[in-house]
Amino acid sequence: MTIQSKMIVDKDFKLAEVDPRVYGSFIEHLGRAVYGGIYDPEHPTADENGFRGDTLQAVRAAGVPIIRYPGGNFVSGYNWEDGVGPKADRKRSLELAWWTTETNQIGTNEFADWAKLAGSEVMMAVNLGTRGIDAARNLVEYCNHPSGSYWSDLRISHGYKEPHAFKTWCLGNEMDGPWQIGAKTAVEYGRLANETAKAMRWVDPSLELVACGSSGSSMSTFAEWEATVLDLSYDNVDFLSLHQYYNNHEDDTPNFLARSLDLDQFISSVAAVCDYIKAKKKSKKKIYLSLDEWNVWKTQGTSRADQLWQVAPPEFEDEYNMEDALVVGCCLITLLKHADRVKMACIAQLINVIAPIMTENGGPLWLQTTYYPYMHASLYGRGTVLHPLITSPVYDSKDFTDVPYLEAVSVYNEELGEVTVFAVNRHLTEGMEFTLDLRSFKNVSVLQHTVLEHEDIHASNTRSNPGNVLPHNRGNAAAGEGSVTALLPKASWNVIRLKVNS
């Protein structure tokens, strides 16, 4: 048995250009993300700076345009000055977000070096938990001011003559969360974000600034927080952040696969709040969205007693399976459907901590199931999103009604003359006969139909079995007159790349 679905795309129905920064990621001083993940001086592939070559290679292969750093909850207790200057002089600090010892062997300059090797921009975050305007503006001066001032000259004395020119900055992290060091009320944070933004921009007017939205849509202060923060900072910030993680703790796969509908609703709601404040202020300025933490997150943290004050203990090392890859795929499609509003997004995180890339200290690297949809979207989802008109059978689940079995979107890359379709078949037992109506495109041919599927929806890649779930190019997409047909296997992620002539 198969089910039928259809999508119509037209080159004239442009939704928005994809900002490549929606394929961003995140590295926090947490678990083995930094120490063990990017920095492992004893590793056979390490360079003279101690950076693992295999990790860099995997990050480069995914084309990660921007990486948020250094946190996360970590940033809310971080003294950035502890992480610059001669390594031998750097303090070991008690790190209160994750109750570990921070050696400070990697700091701002080392991360800038690493990001350059990875081919990524840095999205810096400043500490608005224990610190404020002064530390933030000094950090901007240290990183971005050319020379001739105390902090810029200090950077030069540390061996970095050229400024890092970091453009995108987060004004704190999850400041609404009671777990945050220095958590604030919306009024306290909105005022601080506004004043910090002003001072940072007075140092470097070219900055793009992201204010903290809620830590998730389930926060009791959600929406009210966004409205208050923006009311107090509207003219001085450019983006509002969203954070959202999903899991399948209830072991209900159809419901889990529908979670991207929640993300869709979350994005629309935050956009509505931004526009409410825009209307209230009679402003012409539009606030864009930065979904700067999103992913599937399954594990609970290890208990504090087990790891108290260790250096880089393993933490949140989720093993992702086939259904997790489908949820990540559905979330990526959802982001693209909001390409007119979501201009930045960071899959959280990148290496070893709830991550698509896993490493063993001193040992091998392997790629999780979730790496593949993320890499495919990043590599092929560049261009213009076309409004998708979809017809699909639907189902109801515990938390959702009318969940379409087909989740899909297409991106038109005019320069290359290519259309790429990303599609998930949510059906767990039936293949889907998919018809793509490409009425405005001529001479359509199929370049590649890549599929990620597995008989066992719980199958994953592990250190001992890293090739268990791999994409293949044996999808059967076939071009006809202005259309393409394909079988989307049950519970599969599909990338159909087409050569077109408009």
Q: 3 or 97: whose CB is closer to ligand AHR?
A: 97
Per rule CB under 6 A, is residue 213 in the interface with ligand AHR?
no
According to CB under 6 A, which one of 173, 214, 248, 460 is a site residue for ligand AHR?
173
Per rule CB under 6 A, is residue 349 in the interface with ligand AHR?
yes
* Least spacing, CB of residue 102 vs ligand AHR, in Å: 14
Q: Which range of residues in 71-79, 185-193, 327-335, 452-460 is near ligand AHR by CB under 6 A?
A: 71-79
Q: How far apart are the first and last CA of the chain?
A: 35
Q: Provide the pairing of β-strand 2-8 with 431-437.
A: parallel
CA 250 to chain centre: 25
Per rule CB under 6 A, is residue 123 in the interface with ligand AHR?
no
Per rule CB under 6 A, is residue 71 in the interface with ligand AHR?
yes
Instruction: Indicate the length of the chain as a whole number.
Output: 502
Shortest CA distance to 19 belongs to which of 291, 269, 324? 291
Per rule CB under 6 A, is residue 229 in the interface with ligand AHR?
no
Shortest CA distance to 128 belongs to which of 205, 71, 168, 208? 71
Which one of 28, 110, 174, 453 is the catalytic residue?
Answer: 174
Per rule CB under 6 A, is residue 176 in the interface with ligand AHR?
no
Q: 7 or 348: whose CB is closer to ligand AHR?
A: 348
Which one of 293, 323, 407, 453 is the catalytic residue?
Answer: 293
Question: Known catalytic residue: 293?
Answer: yes
Q: Could you tell me which residues are beta bridge partners of residue 156?
A: none
Per rule CB under 6 A, is residue 25 in the interface with ligand AHR?
no
According to CB under 6 A, which one of 348, 358, 421, 424 is a site residue for ligand AHR?
348
Report which secondary-structure segment, H or E, holds 481.
none
Report d(CA 291, CA 66) in Å as an integer. Answer: 13
Q: Which range of residues in 65-73, 232-240, 257-265, 317-325 is near ligand AHR by CB under 6 A?
A: 65-73
Binders of ligand AHR among 283-312, rule CB under 6 A? 293
* b/e per residue 129-154 (b: at least 16 CB within 10 A): bebbbebbbbbbbbbbbeeeeebbeb
Q: Which range of residues in 47-55, 58-66, 68-76, 357-365 is near ligand AHR by CB under 6 A?
A: 68-76
Burial of 285 (0-12, 13-18, 19+ CB in 10 A): exposed
Q: 174 or 318: whose CB is closer to ligand AHR?
A: 174
Question: Known catalytic residue: 28?
Answer: no
According to CB under 6 A, which one of 40, 174, 204, 407 is a site residue for ligand AHR?
174
* Least spacing, CB of residue 310 vs ligand AHR, in Å: 17
Sign of CA dihedral 112, 116, 117, 122: positive
The DSSP secondary structure of 75-110, one letter per residue, reads GGG--GGGGSS-GGGPPPEEETTTTEEE--SS-HHH
* Least spacing, CB of residue 73 vs ligand AHR, in Å: 4
Report d(CA 95, CA 102) in Å as an integer. Answer: 6
Q: 81 or 174: whose CB is closer to ligand AHR?
A: 174
Per the CB < 8 A criterion, the answer to whether 34 and 314 are in contact is: no
Give helix 133-144 / helix 108-118 axis angle, nearest 10°.
Answer: 50
Q: Which range of residues in 40-48, 67-75, 251-259, 405-413 is near ligand AHR by CB under 6 A?
A: 67-75
According to CB under 6 A, which one of 25, 28, 172, 203 is a site residue for ligand AHR?
28
> Annotated active-site positions, please?
174, 293
For ligand AHR, the binding residues (CB under 6 A) are 28, 71-73, 173-174, 215, 293, 348-349
